Amino acid sequence: MRKIALFLVSMAMMVVLVGCNPMGDIELNAGNSGIYVEDDGAIKYGSCEKFDKKYFNEDQLEDEIDTEVADFNKSKYSSVDDACSVEKFQANSKEASLVLDFVTTYDFKNYMLNYAGFEEDGFYIGPISDNDKCEIEGIFKKPNSKKIVSAKEVKEMKDCILVTYTPFKVQVKGDIKYIST
């Protein structure tokens, strides 16, 4: 059964991501991706993957990443010229890690849907009111509490939301109102 992780945070929420080295309190190992939500609107996405085959080429991978980021920034999917930037890229004989910075949740969402291969019905980040593709369902609990609210109550909130069917490590610098897994 697919899991859905739902995080509600205040309107100022945005995302920041992390690589194999820690950012925030998230530390990623090969095969992990992370999202760090900053309270000032900054967004980061991090990914760490195995890079242990002899035919892997660090320079070629870095060129492909730079080309993809430049293409995204010129595309209709970015809100401004430098909507996405590479904060960090590093590779060794075992793993490669990447941290991308995004200006807004809008840019991050568009990157994930149009460049990272995520589907609209399985990934959403932004205002709840703008979410018309991802289904909001499940039991929603307040963190560190037994308080439960319905999906209908969640849909009526004026906050931002992260809906994903893909496992991510997530850290939020701000308030998480409810979680569903």
Q: How far apart are alpha carbons 174 and 41 in whole angstroms? A: 11
Edge-first strand order for the sheet with 5-9 is: 123-127, 160-164, 5-9, 176-180, 140-141, 148-149
- The pLDDT score that the predictor gives to residue 98 is 92
* pLDDT tens-digit series, residues 71-89: 999 999 999 999 999 999 9
Q: How far apart are alpha carbons 118 and 59 in whole angstroms? A: 26
pLDDT confidence tier of residue 41, bands split at 50, 70 and 90:
low
pTM score of the predicted model: 0.77
- The pLDDT score that the predictor gives to residue 181 is 59
Which residue(s) pair with 95 in the sheet?
A: 50
Residue range 149-157: average pLDDT?
80
